[in-house]
């Protein structure tokens, strides 16, 4: 019997959300010295719009998750301090250069101090970028950034399970995604991890955040997902523990779909504005009414190929009528 194909991985959405929701725990896990230096009594200011302005241009940012947070140090220094964290899902030859370019553009804009951290989510054990060097005859630069590779924890799963830090669970979950060879392996991993979460003793909100992450990142074919949910409902009936109700799961799935729609719609707008300048309200209004992800994906291509805005509007009208 042939192996069933695994659903295509989507790391961007779940990792983007969990890095923000568990930001202090993420920093404590990956950079304990930075965690000790930050004054956590002060608010953390996430700045996605600023990050969009300074990111190096790229034809595709699939598999890349960036977050930018402004923090305060315990020293009380007024100089701006930023944490730029990038999660990379696959090996990329220009990754170190991209980290450098983001760092230098952020410095040019803020003149602040910047902590650069790369979280490597890939399956390549020997890919370990740590710096970007550009030197000639005693001049140039050697930019270094902090790197944490999730695959390095594959022989430390018991340590992850024993950790009081909820972020250790995200590492454990992602390891199961990397190591599972079949969809049946994924189902077994998802079952086991869900059971561990049910008995972990975590507070409600971190537990819900981690269930969202687990359900989103370990994707299963529809029939196996239905089986998983049936088993979890039965387990919930046996245990009076925190778990996502069916209503919450349905709401989660709707939220995931809406996030995908929003991301594709933003991609269409971004391509059009780069090529043709600010968009008229009529185009934005038409785009806002389109919810089909595949339709929006086709419109990204149309935006890239259009000879002018009127050409795109014609394609938009044709697609809407069809």
More confident site: 242 or 221: 221
pTM of the model: 0.71
User: Residue 104 has what pLDDT?
Assistant: 94
Domain ranges of the chain: 12-183, 249-321
Q: Work out the average pLDDT over 200-212.
A: 84
3-state secondary structure the chain: CCCCCCCCCCCHHHHHHHHHHCHHHHHHHHCHHHHHHECCCCCCEECHHHHHHHCCCCCCCCCEEEEEEEECECCCCCCCEEEEEEEECCCCCCHHHHHHHHHHHHHHHHCCEEEEEEEECCCCCCCCCCEEEEEECCEEEEEECEEEEHHHHCCCHHHHHHCCCCHHHHHHHHHHHHHCCCHHHHHHHHHHHHHHHHCCCCCHHHHHHHHHHHHHHCCCCHHHHHHHHHHHHHHHHHCCCCCCCHHHHHHHHHHHHHHHHHHHHHHHHHHHHHHHCCCCHHHHHHHHCCCCHHHHHHHHHHHHHCCCHHHHHHHHHHHHHC
Which whole number is the average pLDDT over 60-88? 85
**pLDDT of 102-149, one tens digit each?**
999 999 999 999 999 999 999 999 999 999 999 999 999 999 999 999
More confident residue, 207 or 56: 207
């Amino acid at each position: 019997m042939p192996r069933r194909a695994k659903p295509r991985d989507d790391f961007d959405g779940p990792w983007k959300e969990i890095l923000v929701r568990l930001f202090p725990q993420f920093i404590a896990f990956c950079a304990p010295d930075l965690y000790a230096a930050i004054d956590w009594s002060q608010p953390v200011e996430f700045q996605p719009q600023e990050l969009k302005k300074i990111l190096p241009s790229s034809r595709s940012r699939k598999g890349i998750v960036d977050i930018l947070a402004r923090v305060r140090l315990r020293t009380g220094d007024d100089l701006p301090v930023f944490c730029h964290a990038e999660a990379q899902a696959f090996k990329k030859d220009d990754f170190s250069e991209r980290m450098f370019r983001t760092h230098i553009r952020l410095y040019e804009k803020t003149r602040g101090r910047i902590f650069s951290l790369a979280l490597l989510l890939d399956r390549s054990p020997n890919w370990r970028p740590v710096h970007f060097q550009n030197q000639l005859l005693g001049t140039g630069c050697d930019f270094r950034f902090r790197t944490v590779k999730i695959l390095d924890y594959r022989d430390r799963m018991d340590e992850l399970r024993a950790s009081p830090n909820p972020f250790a669970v995200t590492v454990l979950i992602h390891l199961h995604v990397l190591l599972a060879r079949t969809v049946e392996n994924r189902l077994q991993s998802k079952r086991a991890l869900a059971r561990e979460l049910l008995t972990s003793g975590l507070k409600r909100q971190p537990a819900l955040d981690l269930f969202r992450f687990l359900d989103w990142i370990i994707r299963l074919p529809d029939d196996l997902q239905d089986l998983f949910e049936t088993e979890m409902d039965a387990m919930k009936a046996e245990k009076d523990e925190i778990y996502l109700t069916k209503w919450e799961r349905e709401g989660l799935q709707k939220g995931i779909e809406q996030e995908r729609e929003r991301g594709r719609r933003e991609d269409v707008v971004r391509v059009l504005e780069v090529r043709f300048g600010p968009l008229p309200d009529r185009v934005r209004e038409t785009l806002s009414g389109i919810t089909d992800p595949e339709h929006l994906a086709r419109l990204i291509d149309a935006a890239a190929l259009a000879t002018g805005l009127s050409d795109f509007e014609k394609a938009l009208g044709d697609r809407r009528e069809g």
